[in-house]
Amino acid sequence: AQSVAQPEDQVNVAEGNPLTVKCTYSVSGNPYLFWYVQYPNRGLQFLLKYITGDNLVKGSYGFEAEFNKSQTSFHLKKPSALVSDSALYFCVQGYSTLTFGKGTMLLVSP
Amino acid sequence: DAGVIQSPRHEVTEMGQEVTLRCKPISGHDYLFWYRQTMMRGLELLIYFNNNVPIDDSGMPEDRFSAKMPNASFSTLKIQPSEPRDSAVYFCASSLQGEGYNEQFFGPGTRLTVL
């Protein structure tokens, strides 16, 4: 069964610093990978996806993710964090159905 | 488009009562998904529909849960009888698959509390 792992429950970063939220996936072959974000008391919002093509995927709100097949990773990154980026981030794998990681809480301090 | 609409946003009920959650997907989307989110188990897929037909209900916890999609613009998730362990946030999502994969759009969720 496919699965994704988010090794960090929480990531803390100061505003203006770069951020990375880690994710590794399990499926062999060519995975479909996504990042979703959940703000407090809100539904999930799509950030970006990797289906095929360039390993660096750009998404909403200045976020990007790097697909690394050799390391089976799909880390989420942003060059300069904002306090408003504080939220719960989910790494997701799948096609017609999605398998969600447990989520990583990102806290950006002023 | 107003996005995925869910009602009610909050529901508080007593154990043993019937609970019905409602969802209106984005117009034109052909897939509809029901999820449950808890602190302990994270986000779980309960069931999904394609063109109003249930495709996979393996995530439905037990017979107390049922879901229907009578038409392309409406779906319900029913719990009867409800139990305290059903307390969670229930999300509905829709997507348009077509060729290639497209993202799912989530509703704001229904926070269910069973006393």
Residue B106 contacts A where some CB pair is shorter than 8 Å: yes
- Asked if A44's CB is within 8 angstroms of B103's CB, the reply is no
Contacts (Cβ under 8 Å, ≥6 apart) of A53: none
Q: What pLDDT is recorded for position A52?
A: 82
Q: What pLDDT is recorded for position A40?
A: 86
Residue A30 contacts B where some CB pair is shorter than 8 Å: no
For residues B58-75, give the mean pLDDT: 94
Across the interface, of B43, B55, B56, the residue whose CB is closest to A100 is B43
Q: Label residue B98 by pLDDT band (50, 70, 90).
A: low
Contacts (Cβ under 8 Å, ≥6 apart) of B39: none
For residues B1-25, give the mean pLDDT: 95
Across the interface, of A43, A98, A101, the residue whose CB is closest to B108 is A43
Tens digits of pLDDT across chain A (110 residues): 668 999 999 999 999 999 999 999 987 667 889 999 999 888 899 999 998 888 999 999 999 999 998 999 999 999 999 999 999 999 998 876 788 999 999 999 99
Distance from CA of B4 to the nearest CA of A (A): 10
Chain A contacts of B91, Cβ < 8 Å? 43-44
Q: Label residue B14 by pLDDT band (50, 70, 90).
A: very high
- Measured distance CA(B83)–CA(A95) in Å, rounded: 32
- Measured distance CA(B23)–CA(B75) in Å, rounded: 5
Residue B33 contacts A where some CB pair is shorter than 8 Å: yes
- Asked if B97's CB is within 8 angstroms of A96's CB, the reply is yes
Q: What pLDDT is recorded for position A2?
A: 67
Residue A102 contacts B where some CB pair is shorter than 8 Å: yes
- Asked if A98's CB is within 8 angstroms of B106's CB, the reply is no
Question: What percent of chain B shows pLDDT beyond 70?
Answer: 96
Q: What pLDDT is recorded for position B1?
A: 64
SS3 A27: coil
